[in-house]
């Protein structure tokens, strides 16, 4: 059976909430955005009957009905229409922002009044970024991308339309996809890529709560804008921290990413907070600075959800001037609350915290500071915590400096490289020392795997090599999940298989589809370690794991970690280890992960620094045997016909 998109999409074109019509500049001239022009290429769709009549979609200028207070046993099917397209920052639709009434000066520099802009213009199709013109890839004309807000147990139906001239996919980061492994969104592993001019219908049950996100899993596309929040709220009965805050609002979802311009895959040139921020690129003239604003009312307790779309090797710190952060969750998993003043984020991590707006009515800086490769250009970015009734133009810009570190306690600071994250103003809490909200005894693993991560320069001036288990991962030419019964296993490799063929992967360059075989329905342990002088954020698809250990051994010992662990076991948590899906592996150190392998399938396991994973620091974890894996109920597994 093949889908014809024109026949099967069931919602009227004019009901799609993200469409922007009637945009005018300051002189009243009609502006047609790139997104509107692209949408005009598609036919008007008519409402259909059957199952789709029960789907919930957003009407024009109305909030999506799935964004609601969550109740037990009241799931919805939530429909989203996601057009992937090229666009530009600082395009014609941003001209209205530059009207004199929105501009003001401080210290000889020009800024835009973000509060006044929102009150006067509301939601627009302007992607302001850092005030520089740049090509981007976006969904529905938005930067960051479309925010999906649903309840645990809902079903998401997302039609992704690829209007670019290159392939794409969408990965639903944080979703386990236990019933639908073919919807995980990894090209050539769980699906075939969405070709130019084609559409793909993702459909899956929302099986993991908390702060998650979606992003392209094709090359470096998420670096250019293809990413957005996926917030899954819980019924009160399942929310152990509900009593700690008064508000859990969409406007307090924060998405941070390091930023490049015009599809240049290089060292980050800036950091954006919710798609906005000050220009940091030297030698260029930009428009006035537009900061992201986060409104609060004095006395309120607010749940903030922070997502780090870290693309390059650029971990960040996050703090709010004169405010404590009571951290209550990480990667969508509840933890025992811990009060800190600064949080370190590594690629793909999310942290939720409660902020009590208990200071004087004013504006306070939200500070993000980049380390490692971002330290070379001293990248730092700010946003504004705005108390209601404060003058939005009252900003003390003289105190903005890269040298600033928030005093007090820092969470998730590895401390393995003093030049990277040293903070002499207070103590540090390791992520491995956090306690899961629900305390459980650790069960002994049935099997332990030792997996290395490495990045090294081949010869001076000849580039770097990126590997897991001494193998540079090469993406297969067929999709593993779809062709699992066609003898695709003959194309797999791993460290043991290469050794049996007589190849020493530490002496020669092994490049192949590295597949690690894991038995189904067992307690599994991975000891993941870094052979390089830089940390690596590792992400396992399909699972939430427990972080039972973390530490450093040093350059001389890390290569013998398996022998060291077997001779004198490395420290491991026996109870209450925090749950994660993305975690940092320290430089010349290790992180120990455990999970119950109850979801057979092919699951990516990779560094979440995009240049590292795209160039080989990845593997596939094959859980169970092919006969144990779920078959897609549709022959083409979501692929729709051409939409051109």
User: Looking at residue 567, which CATH number applies to its domain?
Assistant: 2.60.40.420
Instruction: Give the percent of the chain with pLDDT over 70.
Output: 90
Consecutive H or E run containing 77: strand 77-89
> Strands, E, within 412-533: which ranges?
428-429, 447-457, 464-468, 471-473, 492-493, 510-518, 523-530
Give the pLDDT of residue 36. Answer: 86
Residues 516 and 421 in one domain: no
Which residues form the domain of 140? 1-88+130-233
Indicate whether 584 and 565 sit together in one domain.
yes
Q: Which domain-ending residue is among 200, 233, 266?
A: 233
Q: Are residues 204 and 345 both part of a single domain?
A: no
Q: Are residues 157 and 284 in the same domain?
A: no
* 93 upstream amide cis, omega within 30 of 0: no
Angular region, 369: left φ>0, alpha ψ -120 to 50, beta rest: beta
489 — pLDDT class (breaks 50, 70, 90): confident
- Per the structure, the count of domains in the chain is 3
- Give the separation between CA 304 and CA 328, rounded to whole angstroms: 10
pTM for this one?
0.93
* 401 inside domain: yes
Shared-domain flag, residues 207 and 224: yes
Residue 98 lies in a domain: no
Q: Degrees (nearest 5) of the Cα angle 203, 209, 211?
A: 100
Cα dihedral sign, 422-435-181-471? positive
Determine contact, residues 166/196, Cβ cutoff 8 Å.
yes
Give the per-residue pLDDT at 258: 95
Asked whether residue 438 is assigned to any structural domain, the reply reads: no
**Length of the chain as a residue count:** 644
Query: Which of 175, 201, 233 is a domain's end point?
Result: 233
pLDDT digits (tens, 9 = 90+) for 507-516: 889 999 999 9
Whole-angstrom Cα distance, residue 145 to residue 164? Answer: 16
Q: What is the pLDDT of residues 251-300, one digit of tens each?
A: 999 999 999 998 887 789 999 999 999 998 877 877 999 999 999 999 99
Same-domain pairing of 224 and 292: no
Q: What is the pLDDT of residues 441-462, one digit of tens each?
A: 888 999 999 999 999 988 776 7
Domain membership of residue 641 (yes or no) is no
Residue 239 has pLDDT above 90, yes or no: yes
Cβ-based neighbours of 100, under 8 Å, separated by 6 or more: none
Residues 190 and 43 in one domain: yes
579 belongs to a structural domain: yes
């Amino acid at each position: 059976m093949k889908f014809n998109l024109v026949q099967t999409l069931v919602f009227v074109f004019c009901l799609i909430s993200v469409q922007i019509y009637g945009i005018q500049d300051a002189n009243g001239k009609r502006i047609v955005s790139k997104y509107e022009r692209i949408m005009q290429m598609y036919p008007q769709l008519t409402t259909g009957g059957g199952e789709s009549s029960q789907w919930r979609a957003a009407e024009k200028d109305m909030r999506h009905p799935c964004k609601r207070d969550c109740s037990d046993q009241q799931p919805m099917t939530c429909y989203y229409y996601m057009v992937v397209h090229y666009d530009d920052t600082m395009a014609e639709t941003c001209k209205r922002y530059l009207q004199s009434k929105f501009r003001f000066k401080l210290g000889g520099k020009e800024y835009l009044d973000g509060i006044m802009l929102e009150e006067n213009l509301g939601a627009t199709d302007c992607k302001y970024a850092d005030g520089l013109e740049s090509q981007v890839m976006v969904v529905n004309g938005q930067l960051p991308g479309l925010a999906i807000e649903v309840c645990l147990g809902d079903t998401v139906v997302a039609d992704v339309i690829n209007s670019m001239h290159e392939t794409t996919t969408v990965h639903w980061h944080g979703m386990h996809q236990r019933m639908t492994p073919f919807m995980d969104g990894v090209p050539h592993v769980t699906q075939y890529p969405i070709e130019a001019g084609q559409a793909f219908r993702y459909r899956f049950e929302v099986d993991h709560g908390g702060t998650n996100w979606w992003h392209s899993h094709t090359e470096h596309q998420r670096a250019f804008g293809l990413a957005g929040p996926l917030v899954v709220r819980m019924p009160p009965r399942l929310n152990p921290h509900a009593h700690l805050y008064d508000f859990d609002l969409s406007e307090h979802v924060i998405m941070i990413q390091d930023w490049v311009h015009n599809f240049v895959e290089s060292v980050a040139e800036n950091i954006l907070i919710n798609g906005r921020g000050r220009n940091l690129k030297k030698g260029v003239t930009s428009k006035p600075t537009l900061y992201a604003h986060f409104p609060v009312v004095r006395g309120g307790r607010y749940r903030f959800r922070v997502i780090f779309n870290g693309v390059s090797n650029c971990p960040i710190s996050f703090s709010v001037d004169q405010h404590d952060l009571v951290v209550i969750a990480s990667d969508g998993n509840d933890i025992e609350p811990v009060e800190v003043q600064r949080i370190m984020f590594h690629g793909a991590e999310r942290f939720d915290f409660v902020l009590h707006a208990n200071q004087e009515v004013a504006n306070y800086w939200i500070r993000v500071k980049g380390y490692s490769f971002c330290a070379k250009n001293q990248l730092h970015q700010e946003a504004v915590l705005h108390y209601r009734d404060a003058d939005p133009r009252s900003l003390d810009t003289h105190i903005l400096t890269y040298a600033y570190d928030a005093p007090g306690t820092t969470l998730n600071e590895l401390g393995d490289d003093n030049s990277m994250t040293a903070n002499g103003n207070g103590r540090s809490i390791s992520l491995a020392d956090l306690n899961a909200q629900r305390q459980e005894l650790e069960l002994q693993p049935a099997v332990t795997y030792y997996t290395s991560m490495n990045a090294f320069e081949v010869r001076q001036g000849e580039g770097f090599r990126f590997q897991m288990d001494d193998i540079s991962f090469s993406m297969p030419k067929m999709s593993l999940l779809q062709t699992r019964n066609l003898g695709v296993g003959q194309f797999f490799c791993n460290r043991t298989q290469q050794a049996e063929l007589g190849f020493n992967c530490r002496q020669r360059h092994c490049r192949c589809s590295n597949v690690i075989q894991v038995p189904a329905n067992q307690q599994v342990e991975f000891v993941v370690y870094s052979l390089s002088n830089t940390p690596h954020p590792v992400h396992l698809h399909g699972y939430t794991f427990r972080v039972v250990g973390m530490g450093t051994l040093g350059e001389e010992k890390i290569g013998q970690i398996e022998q060291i662990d077997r001779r004198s076991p490395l420290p491991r948590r026996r109870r209450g280890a925090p749950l994660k899906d993305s975690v940092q592996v320290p430089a010349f150190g290790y992180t120990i992960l455990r999970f119950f392998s109850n979801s057979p399938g092919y699951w990516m396991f990779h560094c979440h620094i995009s240049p590292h994973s795209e160039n080989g620091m990845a593997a596939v974890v094959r859980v169970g045997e092919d006969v144990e894996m779920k078959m897609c109920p549709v022959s083409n597994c979501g692929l729709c016909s051409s939409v051109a």
